[in-house]
Amino acid sequence: MNGRFVEVADGVHVLREPLLQVNVTLVVGDGAALLVDTLSTAGQARDLAAAARAVTPHPWIVVNTHHHFDHCFGNATLAADPPRPVYAHELAAAAQRERPDQLRRAAYEEIREERPALAAELADTVLLAPTHTVHTETVLDVGGRRVVLRHPGHGHTDADLVVHVPDADVLVAGDLVEQSGPPAFEESYPLQWPDAVADLLRLTTPATVVVPGHGDPVDVEFVRAQHAQLVEQAWMIRAGHTGSAPPERVAAESPFGARPGLIAARRGYADLNGTL
């Protein structure tokens, strides 16, 4: 990975990892910094550290937006030596602390056919669980800058965090918002996801820069449009379930396409059946 950070607002920089289009955000304060997400492997994280050091010499705090491999498997490289605080939602922290083998195996299975070399690295990655947990909201002082870590509810996972930098009008949304492809529903709560996005929208202004989990930074109108699609899909899932339609029928009309729609419909049906 040979990426570099690009400043998207005053003292807020974004690096996009080219393989999976994952975004990492660097917030620079007075004598301190914050890194949001740590990528997939030790090698990627070493390159990320070098890119961050090209921007700032300050020590950093780390935040994981959730527990999927492409957002937290670099923790050990970036926060173990010297030890740095790592924040995540309490359920994301528990997953990394209690189920590292399961997370590694899931990552390997997800990526092995498309990217076997990356899958082999993931299988051997040392995981570092977060040291600090967030229940609903935590406010950090990053070198004099107020940074808010907020759990807006169940959405992409049950453990998503958004990171709000009010003085720069930047919101880091993690995989609750996607630009480079459709949202990923494999561990999602599609009936609740619209409420989570509505919650994060309350943190925005018309000029807010929103950093999605993957792809280009977007504006608030993009997020509102994706929210409308999530609302439409949730309504279709509820209607289909009420009418005893097979999830495939719901998926065929999904605003995100048939394959993501099928995963979403099955997850939504399971939620309505009380088996999620």
Average pLDDT value for residue range 129-146? 98
What predicted TM-score, i.e. pTM, was given to this entire model?
A: 0.96
Q: Is the pLDDT of residue 225 over 90?
A: yes
pLDDT in tens, 82-105: 999 999 999 999 999 999 999 999
pLDDT, residue 1, reads 61
162 vs 138: CA distance, rounded Å: 11
Q: Is the pLDDT of residue 176 over 80?
A: yes
Average pLDDT value for residue range 249-263? 97
Mean pLDDT of the chain: 97
pLDDT in tens, 150-172: 999 999 999 999 999 999 999 99
Domains and CATH numbers, the chain: 6-220 (3.60.15.10)
Beta bridge partners of 6: 14
Q: Is the pLDDT of residue 39 over 70?
A: yes
Please check whether residue 49 is in contact with residue 78, taking contact to mean a CB–CB distance below 8 angstroms.
yes
* Residue 2 pLDDT class (50, 70, 90 cuts): low
pLDDT, residue 271, reads 97
21 vs 43: CA distance, rounded Å: 16
Average pLDDT value for residue range 237-243? 97
Average pLDDT value for residue range 63-84? 97
pLDDT, residue 3, reads 81
